[in-house]
A and B are shown apart, each in its own frame.
Chain A
């Protein structure tokens, strides 16, 4: 099976812009989670989607949003970008919302100038 794929791999934006990141889960996986990785804060959970519904959310401002499509692909959107949003954004998929193992994609490196 193909792994989790994320596009684009690299992105450069300026403050105030918005950005959309995409994630395609492993075939058959219905749950997609997003994590932010920064040198200062480490790996932090953003949100999880299952069957097109957000089922869990981390402690991030409303500028961070997401959605999931009927084919389980997910997008994450960040509006009004701030310098502090520069990070590696990782997507992970798992088969269901139970205690299944999460498998990660390669990440999207976002740089905000």
Chain B
């Protein structure tokens, strides 16, 4: 079946620190992989995506590479800001099916 395992939080970092949030997946077929971000009191915003192996998704300084050999899609950012404080969700989608989400990782960035 389909599942996403995501790094447990919460994660607290100082401003300008390096961020990694680990995500691994199990899927039937060839999934597309996503990172969504949820700010307090809001819905989910698409942060980045990758649709095939070795693709790198990037947006707003965040990056993630689709690694088929390790079934991973780890999120990274070189220098986090206070405004990056949010909950981050890793998700997969196979074909026309629905999204399967990880449990979410809460990131707090302190000045």
Q: Which residues of A contact B (CB under 8 A)?
A: 4, 6, 33, 35, 42-43, 45, 48, 56, 58, 88, 90, 92, 97-99, 101-107
Cα A97 to Cα B96 in complex, Å, equals 5
Given A43-B101, A45-B99, A104-B36, does the pair A99, B93 have CB atoms closer than 8 Å? yes
Does B44 touch A at the CB level, under 8 Å? Answer: yes
Please give, as numbers and ranges, the residues of chain B lying within 8 Å of A6 by CB-CB distance: 43
Does B70 touch A at the CB level, under 8 Å? Answer: no
Please give, as numbers and ranges, the residues of chain A lying within 8 Å of B34 by CB-CB distance: 101
Does B89 touch A at the CB level, under 8 Å? Answer: yes
By beta carbon, the residue of chain A nearest B104 is A42
- The B33-51 residues at the A interface (CB cut-off 8 A) are 34, 36, 42-46, 49, 51
Given A42-B104, A101-B34, does the pair A106, B42 have CB atoms closer than 8 Å? yes
Cα A48 to Cα B97 in complex, Å, equals 9
By beta carbon, the residue of chain B nearest A55 is B96
B51 touches A99 (CB 8 A): yes
Please give, as numbers and ranges, the residues of chain A lying within 8 Å of B45 by CB-CB distance: 104
Does B95 touch A at the CB level, under 8 Å? Answer: yes
By beta carbon, the residue of chain B nearest A58 is B98
Q: Which residues of B contact A (CB under 8 A)?
A: 32, 34, 36, 42-46, 49, 51, 89, 93-104
Please give, as numbers and ranges, the residues of chain A lying within 8 Å of B42 by CB-CB distance: 106-107
Cα A101 to Cα B96 in complex, Å, equals 10
Q: 8 closest A-B pairs (Cβ-Cβ)?
A: A104-B44, A43-B101, A45-B98, A106-B43, A97-B96, A104-B43, A107-B43, A42-B103
By beta carbon, the residue of chain A nearest B93 is A99
Please give, as numbers and ranges, the residues of chain A lying within 8 Å of B103 by CB-CB distance: 42
Please give, as numbers and ranges, the residues of chain B lying within 8 Å of A105 by CB-CB distance: 43
Q: How far is the CB of B106 from chain A (nearest CB, A)?
A: 11
By beta carbon, the residue of chain A nearest B89 is A43
